[in-house]
């Protein structure tokens, strides 16, 4: 569903329709294809934990965004109910951060 959004002059609103694709696949593809403008971008990435993790790593490791310039949170996880996800989220975040740090250390 597309809704009318008031955007400031020069801003472009792009709707990404996933169709039959899994949640997040089309969004990850679109973000990876973006050409960032010069400067210090910020990112707000919230949604299903799997694609959030992938985008966080991409933005941090491959694009070099500083952690303090990103707001990232997996609100839910495919295959987990709310209680299950919330009880495992802290450990999942620790592992994701450790993987990200290792990838950053290994990057050229």
In a domain, 3, yes or no: no
The CATH number that applies at residue 87 is: 3.40.50.80
In a domain, 100, yes or no: yes
Buried b (16+ CB within 10 A) or exposed e, 18-31: eeeeeebeebbeeb
| Tens digits of residue pLDDT in 89-107 | 999 999 999 998 998 899 8
Using CB atoms within 10 A of its CB, is residue 80 exposed (0-12), middle (13-18) or buried (19+)? middle
In a domain, 10, yes or no: no
- What domain range is 75 assigned to? 25-106
At 108, the pLDDT band (50, 70, 90 cuts) reads confident
**Whole-prediction pTM:** 0.86
Give the total number of structural domains in the chain.
1
Length of the chain, in residues: 108
């Amino acid at each position: 569903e597309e809704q009318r959004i008031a955007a400031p002059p020069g801003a472009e609103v792009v709707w990404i329709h996933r169709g039959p694709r899994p949640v997040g696949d089309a969004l990850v593809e679109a973000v990876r294809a973006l050409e960032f403008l010069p400067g210090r971008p910020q990112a707000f990435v919230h949604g299903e934990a799997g694609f959030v993790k992938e985008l966080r790593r991409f933005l941090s490791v491959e694009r070099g965004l500083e952690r303090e310039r990103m707001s990232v949170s997996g609100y839910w996880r495919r295959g987990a109910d709310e209680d299950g996800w919330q009880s495992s989220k802290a450990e999942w975040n620790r592992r994701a951060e450790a993987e990200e740090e290792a990838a950053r250390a290994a990057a050229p």
